[in-house]
Amino acid sequence: MRADFINPFLHAMLNVLRTMCQMQPQVGKPLLKEDDFARGVVTGFVDMMGESTTGSLAISFPAAVAFDIAERMLGEKITEVDDTIRDLVGEITNMVCGGAKKILAEKGYDFYLSQPVTFVGDNHTITHSVYGPKILLPFHVDSGDFVVEVCFRD
């Protein structure tokens, strides 16, 4: 997968966390994902359909990171993965995907985005709608680690 498809998601995730949560995340080295298991307990997922290529985005958070983000964005302490957390993770996924879509449009790639969906539970799986390499972008914030997962058709 080309870096010009990965970097927009990295930049969009950084932008969302910095502006909406006042977080300064650290970015790890991208990895090729070999399985379908989520790396967190709550995952937001969006399909991206375009004329020249299609793909999808998944963002998986452990509970502690999701709770920290919720407290920073909503001003309330949440201690269980409930509908508020599901909605928040879906909205974050939508904002990141929208930010990446804007950057990609400037490079000539236009996409239609599906509505975000969320999945919850230990060891849940992520099934991308296209076959292609799955790239994990690891992030670290004070409350823990999480991943952004990008997959585009070969």
Domain chopping of the chain, boundaries: 3-152
What's the confidence (pLDDT) of residue 139?
Answer: 98
d(CA 37, CA 126): 6
Is pLDDT above 90 for 1?
A: no
The region of weakest confidence among 88-92, 104-108, 137-141 is 104-108
What's the confidence (pLDDT) of residue 2?
Answer: 65
The region of weakest confidence among 4-13, 20-29, 56-65, 142-151 is 4-13
Looking at the chain, the whole-number percentage of residues with pLDDT higher than 90 is 85
- 133 — pLDDT class (breaks 50, 70, 90): very high
- 96 — pLDDT class (breaks 50, 70, 90): very high
The alpha-helical segments, DSSP class H, found in 107-132 are none
Looking at the chain, the whole-number percentage of residues with pLDDT higher than 70 is 97
Mean pLDDT of 59-72: 98
Query: Which residues share a beta bridge with 145?
Result: 140
CATH match for 3-152 among 3.40.50.460, 3.40.50.150, 3.40.50.970, 3.40.1550.10: 3.40.1550.10
Who contacts 121 (Cβ-Cβ below 8 Å, separation ≥6)? 41
d(CA 117, CA 115): 6
- 154 — pLDDT class (breaks 50, 70, 90): low
